[in-house]
Amino acid sequence: MRVEKMNSSQFTSTNFNGKTNIIPGDLSYEPAKYLGKAYKSIENMIKDKNFDLFIKQNHQQNTVSIIARQGKKGMFVEAVIPKDADIYEDTAKEVIQSYEDLQKSKPTFKDKVKKFLDNAGEKFLKTMEIKE
């Protein structure tokens, strides 16, 4: 058996390519036709993002949802459009922008730790104060 040595750059560089996924259950004729026109453009919009777009049709309500999400759990942004609307490209652009804004507003681990340490420091100083 041969084992290849891996250098550290293979572990540290992560290239995430966002994908456009059509949820199984296939799209009916009209949504598929309009999505076909906009698919390449949507694919180019999402290709360098760290999240995916999901497109699914709700047959009972005659709507199509475009959802931006990273992984199976966590935050997501969803836009619902009528199935016969030809606005997939614009809606996808808005969903991508909304999701990116949501990601920016979410506090990072570093922000959470800094806030915790600031609060702990204030409490420590209050307890150590010498009262006259």
Instruction: Go through the domains of the chain in sequence order and give each one's CATH number.
Output: 14-105 (3.30.160)
Q: Which residue has the higher pLDDT, 107 or 48?
A: 48
Residue 5: pLDDT over 50: no
pLDDT at position 78 is: 93
- The 63-69 sheet, strands edge to edge: 20-22, 52-58, 63-69, 76-82
pLDDT at position 13 is: 41
Q: Which residue has the higher pLDDT, 85 or 79?
A: 79
Amino acid sitting at position 66: I
Q: What is the pTM of this model?
A: 0.65
